[in-house]
A and B are shown apart, each in its own frame.
Chain A
């Protein structure tokens, strides 16, 4: 059974940093691209970032580029999102999602974690 479990969320002040983690199991993690997608409370889905299976290709949405960094550790079956200089508009549920292929833009997202709420407030 594929499982994706996010951790590391919570309340953080504007301008501070936070690191999200996603622990993967039930599939060969190193074979697939991975993504972060966020959803502000009561709003729609926004793709945040993606990383290819071998970390050679990464991409970011415009609203987070330069502030967020995606990474992965295939030995630990884990995906990360380092979020710096957080803003109130970054407040959202952050989902970890598995790609259907080893690189993104080759398939959609077939498994999602339950999500982790990040609150940015003073």
Chain B
């Protein structure tokens, strides 16, 4: 199984500042044949289902503000939120869909 490890577990950032969350996979999720990283990021607010933010490591889903961006390749990935807004308070998860079982990171709680 591919183990996804996020850091930090929790993070406090001031409004308007930048938040950075790391996700490392125990093996590469870069598929050589299509040169895509099979890595997604989700945001989950209390009492709500997860919401897809980014897929292929850096492609924003429809309607996701451009202050959310993703980077990285292979085994090391980063979610960056620039100019943090109050509505960005949530738990963020990375997910690999390179192989089954599909696995998620343990989550990073982002607070203001």
Interface positions of A (Cβ within 8 A of B): 35, 37, 44-47, 50, 59-62, 95, 100, 104-110, 112-115
Contact = CB atoms under 8 A, between A and B. Distances in A.
Q: Is the interface of B mostly helix, strand, loop or mixed?
A: loop
Given A44-B93, A113-B49, A104 B100 contact: yes
Interface of B: 1, 38, 40, 42, 44, 48-52, 55, 61, 93, 95, 97-107
Contacts of A61: 101
Contact of B50 (A45, A100, A107): A45
A107 B101 contact: no
Contacts, number: 61
Nearest to A99: B97
B104 A46 contact: yes
Contacts of A105: 38, 97-100, 102
The 7 closest A-B pairs by CB, nearest first: A108-B40, A112-B49, A47-B102, A59-B100, A45-B104, A108-B55, A61-B101
A39 to B, nearest CB: 9
Given A44-B93, A45-B93, A108 B104 contact: no
Contacts of B38: 105
Given A105-B97, A112-B50, A114-B49, A47 B104 contact: yes
